[in-house]
Amino acid sequence: MAASAHRSTGTAAMSLSLFLLAAIAASSFPPADAQASSSCASHTFSSNQLYASCAALPRLGTTLHYNYTAAANTVAVAFRAPQTSKAGGWVAWGLNPNGTGMVGTQAVVAFRHSNGSLVAYPTLLDSYAPSMAPAGAAELAFPVSDVAAEYAKKGKEMVVYATVALPGKGSEFTHVWQQGSSVVDDVPAAHPTTGDNVLSTGTIDFSK
Protein backbone atom coordinates (compact mmCIF):
# COMPACT_ATOMS: atom_id res chain seq x y z
CA MET A 1 0.00 0.00 0.00
CA ALA A 2 2.83 2.40 0.89
CA ALA A 3 4.63 1.54 -2.34
CA SER A 4 1.45 2.21 -4.30
CA ALA A 5 1.02 5.59 -2.61
CA HIS A 6 4.65 6.43 -3.37
CA ARG A 7 4.17 5.60 -7.06
CA SER A 8 1.00 7.75 -7.20
CA THR A 9 2.80 10.70 -5.60
CA GLY A 10 5.72 10.33 -8.01
CA THR A 11 3.40 10.17 -11.02
CA ALA A 12 1.54 13.30 -9.88
CA ALA A 13 4.80 15.18 -9.35
CA MET A 14 6.04 14.19 -12.81
CA SER A 15 2.75 15.26 -14.41
CA LEU A 16 2.94 18.62 -12.65
CA SER A 17 6.55 19.09 -13.78
CA LEU A 18 5.64 18.32 -17.40
CA PHE A 19 2.69 20.74 -17.22
CA LEU A 20 4.90 23.53 -15.86
CA LEU A 21 7.53 22.92 -18.54
CA ALA A 22 4.86 23.06 -21.24
CA ALA A 23 3.45 26.28 -19.80
CA ILE A 24 6.90 27.89 -19.69
CA ALA A 25 7.60 26.82 -23.27
CA ALA A 26 4.26 28.16 -24.48
CA SER A 27 4.84 31.50 -22.76
CA SER A 28 8.08 31.91 -24.71
CA PHE A 29 6.15 32.34 -27.97
CA PRO A 30 3.45 34.88 -28.80
CA PRO A 31 0.07 33.62 -29.98
CA ALA A 32 -0.27 32.91 -33.71
CA ASP A 33 -2.43 36.01 -34.18
CA ALA A 34 0.17 38.18 -32.45
CA GLN A 35 2.91 36.78 -34.67
CA ALA A 36 0.84 37.49 -37.77
CA SER A 37 0.02 41.03 -36.62
CA SER A 38 3.65 41.77 -35.82
CA SER A 39 4.76 40.44 -39.18
CA CYS A 40 2.28 42.40 -41.30
CA ALA A 41 2.68 45.55 -39.22
CA SER A 42 6.37 45.72 -40.14
CA HIS A 43 5.67 45.79 -43.89
CA THR A 44 6.87 48.88 -45.76
CA PHE A 45 4.92 50.14 -48.76
CA SER A 46 6.57 51.82 -51.73
CA SER A 47 4.85 55.13 -50.95
CA ASN A 48 5.68 54.79 -47.24
CA GLN A 49 1.94 54.76 -46.55
CA LEU A 50 1.20 53.77 -42.97
CA TYR A 51 -1.74 51.63 -41.90
CA ALA A 52 -2.90 51.48 -38.30
CA SER A 53 -4.20 47.91 -38.53
CA CYS A 54 -3.44 44.76 -40.46
CA ALA A 55 -4.52 41.15 -40.61
CA ALA A 56 -2.68 38.15 -42.00
CA LEU A 57 -5.63 36.43 -43.66
CA PRO A 58 -6.00 32.68 -43.11
CA ARG A 59 -6.15 31.69 -46.81
CA LEU A 60 -3.99 32.17 -49.92
CA GLY A 61 -1.08 33.75 -48.03
CA THR A 62 -2.68 37.18 -48.25
CA THR A 63 -2.62 40.24 -46.00
CA LEU A 64 -4.98 43.15 -45.48
CA HIS A 65 -3.79 46.52 -44.15
CA TYR A 66 -6.33 49.22 -43.32
CA ASN A 67 -7.07 52.62 -41.82
CA TYR A 68 -10.59 53.01 -40.45
CA THR A 69 -12.08 56.49 -40.07
CA ALA A 70 -15.07 56.17 -37.76
CA ALA A 71 -16.38 59.72 -38.25
CA ALA A 72 -16.75 59.22 -42.00
CA ASN A 73 -17.27 55.44 -41.77
CA THR A 74 -14.66 54.84 -44.44
CA VAL A 75 -11.75 52.43 -44.65
CA ALA A 76 -8.59 52.76 -46.73
CA VAL A 77 -7.20 49.33 -47.55
CA ALA A 78 -4.11 47.75 -49.06
CA PHE A 79 -4.57 44.10 -50.00
CA ARG A 80 -1.40 42.09 -50.64
CA ALA A 81 -1.39 38.73 -52.43
CA PRO A 82 1.47 36.54 -53.66
CA GLN A 83 1.89 36.03 -57.40
CA THR A 84 3.03 32.61 -58.59
CA SER A 85 2.18 32.86 -62.29
CA LYS A 86 4.94 34.17 -64.55
CA ALA A 87 2.31 34.86 -67.22
CA GLY A 88 0.51 37.24 -64.88
CA GLY A 89 -2.38 36.55 -62.55
CA TRP A 90 -4.95 38.66 -60.76
CA VAL A 91 -6.02 39.51 -57.22
CA ALA A 92 -9.25 40.81 -55.72
CA TRP A 93 -10.64 41.87 -52.37
CA GLY A 94 -14.10 43.10 -51.47
CA LEU A 95 -17.02 43.38 -49.08
CA ASN A 96 -20.31 41.52 -49.11
CA PRO A 97 -22.73 43.72 -47.14
CA ASN A 98 -25.64 41.28 -47.27
CA GLY A 99 -24.22 37.77 -47.52
CA THR A 100 -21.45 35.49 -46.36
CA GLY A 101 -19.86 34.36 -49.61
CA MET A 102 -18.69 35.45 -53.03
CA VAL A 103 -22.04 36.27 -54.67
CA GLY A 104 -23.12 39.77 -53.73
CA THR A 105 -19.59 41.01 -53.12
CA GLN A 106 -18.39 44.37 -54.40
CA ALA A 107 -14.68 43.99 -55.02
CA VAL A 108 -11.61 45.72 -56.35
CA VAL A 109 -9.61 43.62 -58.81
CA ALA A 110 -6.11 44.14 -60.21
CA PHE A 111 -4.12 42.48 -63.00
CA ARG A 112 -1.57 43.17 -65.71
CA HIS A 113 -3.16 44.42 -68.92
CA SER A 114 -1.97 43.17 -72.31
CA ASN A 115 -0.40 46.60 -72.90
CA GLY A 116 1.91 45.96 -69.96
CA SER A 117 0.26 48.29 -67.47
CA LEU A 118 -1.20 47.23 -64.15
CA VAL A 119 -4.90 48.01 -63.97
CA ALA A 120 -7.30 48.06 -61.03
CA TYR A 121 -11.01 48.84 -60.78
CA PRO A 122 -14.19 48.04 -58.82
CA THR A 123 -16.27 45.09 -60.04
CA LEU A 124 -19.44 43.30 -59.00
CA LEU A 125 -19.45 39.59 -58.16
CA ASP A 126 -23.10 39.05 -58.94
CA SER A 127 -22.90 35.32 -59.71
CA TYR A 128 -20.51 32.38 -59.56
CA ALA A 129 -19.40 33.36 -63.08
CA PRO A 130 -19.16 37.16 -62.89
CA SER A 131 -18.07 39.21 -65.87
CA MET A 132 -15.22 40.81 -63.87
CA ALA A 133 -15.88 43.95 -65.92
CA PRO A 134 -15.34 47.42 -64.48
CA ALA A 135 -18.39 48.70 -62.59
CA GLY A 136 -19.48 52.29 -63.02
CA ALA A 137 -20.25 54.53 -60.06
CA ALA A 138 -23.99 54.17 -60.65
CA GLU A 139 -23.70 50.38 -60.40
CA LEU A 140 -21.90 50.34 -57.07
CA ALA A 141 -23.80 49.67 -53.86
CA PHE A 142 -21.29 51.83 -51.97
CA PRO A 143 -18.65 54.29 -53.22
CA VAL A 144 -15.07 53.18 -53.86
CA SER A 145 -12.24 55.59 -54.64
CA ASP A 146 -8.44 55.83 -54.82
CA VAL A 147 -8.24 52.46 -56.57
CA ALA A 148 -4.69 51.58 -57.62
CA ALA A 149 -2.32 48.63 -57.81
CA GLU A 150 1.37 47.84 -57.93
CA TYR A 151 3.80 44.96 -57.89
CA ALA A 152 6.03 44.42 -54.86
CA LYS A 153 8.82 42.06 -53.88
CA LYS A 154 10.24 42.05 -57.42
CA GLY A 155 6.95 40.99 -58.95
CA LYS A 156 6.26 38.19 -56.47
CA GLU A 157 3.42 40.09 -54.83
CA MET A 158 0.59 42.30 -56.06
CA VAL A 159 -0.92 45.07 -53.96
CA VAL A 160 -4.30 46.65 -54.63
CA TYR A 161 -5.37 49.85 -52.87
CA ALA A 162 -8.80 51.39 -52.37
CA THR A 163 -10.84 53.62 -50.09
CA VAL A 164 -14.29 52.26 -49.33
CA ALA A 165 -17.28 54.17 -47.97
CA LEU A 166 -18.72 51.48 -45.73
CA PRO A 167 -22.41 50.73 -46.22
CA GLY A 168 -24.70 51.23 -43.25
CA LYS A 169 -23.53 52.37 -39.84
CA GLY A 170 -21.52 49.40 -38.63
CA SER A 171 -17.85 48.48 -38.93
CA GLU A 172 -18.14 44.67 -39.13
CA PHE A 173 -18.56 43.01 -42.53
CA THR A 174 -18.06 39.84 -44.48
CA HIS A 175 -15.02 40.26 -46.68
CA VAL A 176 -13.94 38.07 -49.56
CA TRP A 177 -10.52 37.82 -51.14
CA GLN A 178 -9.23 35.92 -54.14
CA GLN A 179 -6.40 35.33 -56.57
CA GLY A 180 -6.24 33.69 -59.98
CA SER A 181 -3.35 32.57 -62.12
CA SER A 182 -4.43 33.78 -65.56
CA VAL A 183 -5.95 36.69 -67.46
CA VAL A 184 -7.53 36.05 -70.89
CA ASP A 185 -8.20 38.91 -73.32
CA ASP A 186 -7.69 41.36 -70.46
CA VAL A 187 -10.34 39.69 -68.31
CA PRO A 188 -9.43 37.77 -65.11
CA ALA A 189 -10.06 34.08 -65.74
CA ALA A 190 -11.83 31.77 -63.30
CA HIS A 191 -9.94 30.88 -60.14
CA PRO A 192 -9.55 27.29 -58.89
CA THR A 193 -12.70 25.86 -57.31
CA THR A 194 -10.98 23.77 -54.66
CA GLY A 195 -8.87 24.35 -51.56
CA ASP A 196 -8.20 27.83 -50.23
CA ASN A 197 -9.78 29.50 -53.25
CA VAL A 198 -13.25 28.46 -52.09
CA LEU A 199 -12.56 29.18 -48.43
CA SER A 200 -11.22 32.71 -48.72
CA THR A 201 -13.94 34.57 -46.86
CA GLY A 202 -14.37 35.75 -43.30
CA THR A 203 -15.64 38.48 -41.00
CA ILE A 204 -13.68 41.63 -40.19
CA ASP A 205 -14.40 44.46 -37.77
CA PHE A 206 -12.51 47.52 -39.02
CA SER A 207 -12.86 49.26 -35.65
CA LYS A 208 -10.59 46.67 -34.00
Domain spans, the chain: 43-205
Q: Provide the phi-psi class of 34: left if phi over 0, else alpha when psi is between -120 and 50, else beta.
A: alpha
Least confidently predicted of 35-39, 153-157, 201-205: 35-39
Q: Determine the average pLDDT of the residues in 39-45.
A: 81
CATH number, domain 43-205, options 3.40.640.10, 3.30.70.380, 2.60.40.1210, 2.60.40.1480: 2.60.40.1210
pTM: 0.79
Per-residue model confidence (pLDDT) at position 195: 87
Compute φ and ψ for 123, nearest 5 degrees: -150, 160
Least confidently predicted of 20-34, 44-58, 182-196: 20-34
